Amino acid sequence: MDENTQFYRFRDGGFELITEAQQNDVQLEVADSWLVEDGRARNMDAHFERFGRWVTEISPECSLTLPNFFAAVRNLIPKHGRIFPRIEYHAEADAPHHLFLRLREAPEQLGDVVLWTLPEPDPRQNPTTKGPDLSLGMQMRRNAKMHGADEAVITDANGFVLEGALSSLVWWRGDRLYSSSADLPWLPSITRDEIFAIAHQMGFETGTERIKPADLVGLEIWALSSLQGIRVVSGWVDLGGPVGKGVHAESFAKRLRMLSSAIA
């Protein structure tokens, strides 16, 4: 475990610090994470709601514990610095202590991103829940770096774009913003919801579609995440053509930052 990370187990209404040796490789079934900067975050309650929904589907008895867990998380997160907390549900942990918090120093803010298409259909086991496939997502991203890119693009068996290994993807056709079709298996993205809400507020139309990478040549494309916000796609190594410039990104990024509020 990184020296800048603290790992806590939720027990009897509070947190106890867990050492690396005590983790015992318990199975990560559900996770959620977001950026906190000097005690402010975007829509932290939405992350709690999403995490709670996933956990309750697996373990309905945990639903009674979740409100106290979320309150304790809110109180423990430092109010200074850049923090990237992750809440976790471990199915194999000793019952009833399945809930954990990982406090981490946030990675640096990154700029534009280069994409690479994973050359096989979606290998994930549970693409619509964050947690079980996190390690696989990091492996896919490492593979992208070996091909001169920063992020891997996941497609389905028919070649339709789903999302990035650890990000969601959106693109522009003129002044209309799109993402992958809702009937495809991708992770529900809070940042994507925020971006679509901003688009509606600004008077832009939005939509979803089934699309293959080659259909995105020349379009403005963004990779989105709770940690990095908007990253403009500046290249796609195997796209077969150039991508468009990030003409809409600055105004959206400004409005996205305005969504931050005090966490306590």
CATH number at residue 44: 3.30.470.10
Average pLDDT over residues 57-77: 95
**pLDDT for residue 251 is more than 70:** yes
Mean pLDDT rounded to a whole number for the chain: 94
- What single-letter amino acid sits at 68? N
Q: Are residues 203 and 141 in the same domain?
A: yes
Question: Can you give the pLDDT at residue 22?
Answer: 53
Q: Are residues 99 and 124 in the same domain?
A: no
Last-in-domain residue among 82, 104, 126: 104
Strands (E), the chain: 5-11, 14-18, 28-33, 36-37, 40-42, 82-83, 86-90, 99-104, 113-117, 151-155, 161-164, 168-173, 176-180, 205-209, 220-225, 229-236, 260-262
Q: Are residues 258 and 137 in the same domain?
A: yes
**pLDDT for residue 67 is more than 70:** yes
Question: Can you give the pLDDT at residue 29?
Answer: 95
Question: Can you give the pLDDT at residue 100?
Answer: 96
Which token pair is 112?
């534009």
CATH number at residue 228: 3.20.10.10
pLDDT digits (tens, 9 = 90+) for 44-63: 999 999 999 999 999 999 99
Question: Can you give the pLDDT at residue 21?
Answer: 47
Q: Are residues 210 and 128 in the same domain?
A: yes
Last-in-domain residue among 104, 137, 170: 104
Last-in-domain residue among 48, 75, 104: 104
Average pLDDT over residues 122-134: 96
Q: Are residues 125 and 226 in the same domain?
A: yes
1 confidence band (pLDDT: 50, 70, 90): very low
d(CA 111, CA 103): 24
Residue range of the domain that includes 146:
113-262
Q: Are residues 232 and 142 in the same domain?
A: yes
Q: Are residues 117 and 171 in the same domain?
A: yes
Q: How many residues appear in the chain?
A: 264
Q: Are residues 212 and 141 in the same domain?
A: yes
Average pLDDT over residues 7-35: 83
Q: Give the count of domains, the chain.
A: 2
Q: Are residues 97 and 202 in the same domain?
A: no
CA Rg value for the chain: 19
Average pLDDT over residues 87-104: 91
**pLDDT for residue 212 is more than 70:** yes
pLDDT digits (tens, 9 = 90+) for 146-185: 999 999 999 999 999 999 999 999 999 999 999 999 999 9
Q: Are residues 100 and 155 in the same domain?
A: no
**pTM above the 0.85 mark?**
yes
Q: Are residues 124 and 200 in the same domain?
A: yes
Q: Are residues 47 and 117 in the same domain?
A: no
